[in-house]
Amino acid sequence: MEFIKYEKDGSIGWLTVNKPQALNALSSSVLKEMKACLEEAGQDKDLRCLVITGAGDKAFVAGADIKEIHGLNVETAAQFAGFGQDLFTKIENFPVPVIAAVNGFALGGGLELALACDFIYASENAKFGLPECTLGLMPGFGGSVRLARKIGPNLAKEWTFTGDMHDADKAKKVGLVNKVCDSEELLEKVTKVAHTIAKRAPLAIAAIKHTIDSTYGMDISAAMKVERQEFAKLFSSQDVKEGTQAFIEKRKPEFKGI
C-alpha cells in the first residue's frame, strides 16, 4: 500500500496514515487503502486492539483532501462523504477496541476519524477542530453527529460554527481526549493501554463495546436489557470459567477468546 502502513506488535495492530507531505490528508485513494487494510485486519483472530495514528510528527490527519474536494459536485460529494461515513462507521463497529493516537493536527476529516475510534490519546502538540465552515463546507464523515455526542451539542456547535482549533488540554477538559502525553511518550502510553486491553477477555471487551455504543441515547430500561443479555451471553464462553477460576486459584487468567 502507498498511503497506509500496517504493522503488528504482538496482538496489537498499528494502522498509520502515511502521507506526511500532505499532513496525511484523506484523499479517496487513502480512504480506499484504509478500507482494504481494515477489512483484512478485521479478519485477524489474534488481533486484540487496533491503534490508528498519522505518519510524521506534525499531523494525525489534517482533514479530507481539500484539493480533491475542490473538484466535487453534488453527486460526487455525496459519494465521497458516503464512502468516508461508511468507513468510519466500520471503525466504530470494529470487532476490537480502536485507539486514536493523535500526534499533531486532527482537523476536519482527521478529527472525524479520531471520533470514530473508541477513545483518543493525544500528544501535547495536538490540535483539534472541525474547520469545514472556513471552506464553505460542513463535516461530512460523521463529525457533526459524533462530536455532539462526545462533547455535547452546545460545544459542538461553537466548535463547528467558528471552525477554531483547540489544543490538547482543552480537548481533554471537554472529554474528547482521555489522556495528554509528552510528544515522545505518546506511542509508549498508547502501547501500554493497548497491551492492558489485549490481556483482558476479548469476548467481554467486545460485549462491553457493543453495550456502550448500542445503548447510547436509549431509554434506561431498554439499555439495561441489552446489558443483561450481553452479560448472560458471556456465560457460554470458556473465558468466564477461566477468569473466575483463576481468581479462586490466585493466579493470572489465560483468556483465549472462546
| Chain residues in the site for ligand CO8 (CB under 6 A) | 22-23, 25, 62-67, 69, 72, 77, 80-81, 84, 105, 107-109, 131-132, 135, 137, 139-141
Q: How far is the CB of 104 from ligand CO8 (least distance, A)?
A: 8
What is 128-189 written as a DSSP string?
A: EE-GGGGGT----SSHHHHHHHHH-HHHHHHHHHH---EEHHHHHHTTS-SEEE-GGGHHHH
Active site residue 112: yes
Q: How far is the CB of 80 from ligand CO8 (least distance, A)?
A: 4
3-state secondary structure of 106: strand
Q: How far is the CB of 52 from ligand CO8 (least distance, A)?
A: 16
Pairing of strands 179-181, 119-123: parallel
**Residue whose C-alpha cell is 472541525:** 130
Which residue number, 134 or 245, has a Cβ lying nearer to ligand CO8? Answer: 134
Which residue number, 24 or 237, has a Cβ lying nearer to ligand CO8? Answer: 24
Which residue number, 150 or 189, has a Cβ lying nearer to ligand CO8? Answer: 150
Which residue number, 132 or 230, has a Cβ lying nearer to ligand CO8? Answer: 132
Active-site entry in 7, 40, 92, 112: 112
| CA atoms of 38 and 170, how far apart (whole Å) | 31
Q: How far is the CB of 66 from ligand CO8 (least distance, A)?
A: 4
Catalytic residues: 112, 132
